[in-house]
Amino acid sequence: MNAPHPSSDDLAVESLERLVERIDTSIEELERARARAERLLAERRSGRPWLELVTAEDRPLVVESISTVLGTLATAGHTWRREQAAALHREDVSINRIAALFGVTRQRISALLRETGGGPTG
């Protein structure tokens, strides 16, 4: 195996750092959404009608907050997976091995590597 290429691995490190930041932010946002959902649940159990609850809820709605978190994590996770695959490939790890490590097909890894400009073309 080749030694890591520090400048190339910076992208993998940066994407992992961004993922960690997004996870931390997501935890905070989900905690706020959970607290709001608990309040809605308590108000509903006290007899308030759904229309009143939904129209009185501040934006973003609980469901909007959750959707935003999921989208943010999906994007950051995809970037991390792509850069991690590229870093492994630069260390001469085979596409088949990367696919096995990630639990996906070799075609998926080839597609990820093409996104980075460092993958196979065919």
What pLDDT score was predicted for residue 121?
A: 44
Residue 115 neighbours by CB under 8 Å, 6+ apart: 82
Question: How far is it, in rounded angstroms, from Cα 104 to Cα 119?
Answer: 16
pLDDT of residue 122: 41
**pLDDT for residue 116:** 87
* Amino acid 2: pLDDT: 52
pTM over 0.95: no
DSSP string of 41-95, one letter each residue: HHHHHTT--HHHHHHHSPSSPHHHHHHHHHHHHHHHHHHHHHHHHHHHHHTT--H
pLDDT of amino acid 117: 80
Question: Is residue 65 a contact partner of residue 29, using CB atoms and an 8 Å limit?
Answer: yes
Q: Report how far residue 65's alpha carbon sits from residue 11's, in angstroms, rounded to the nearest whole number.
A: 29
What gap in Å lies between CA 118 and CA 85, rounded to an integer?
A: 10
Q: Over its length of 122 residues, how does the chain's per-residue pLDDT go in tens digits?
A: 555 555 656 899 999 999 999 999 999 999 999 999 999 999 999 999 999 999 999 999 999 999 999 999 999 999 999 999 999 999 999 999 999 999 999 999 999 999 988 655 44
Res 9: pLDDT: 65
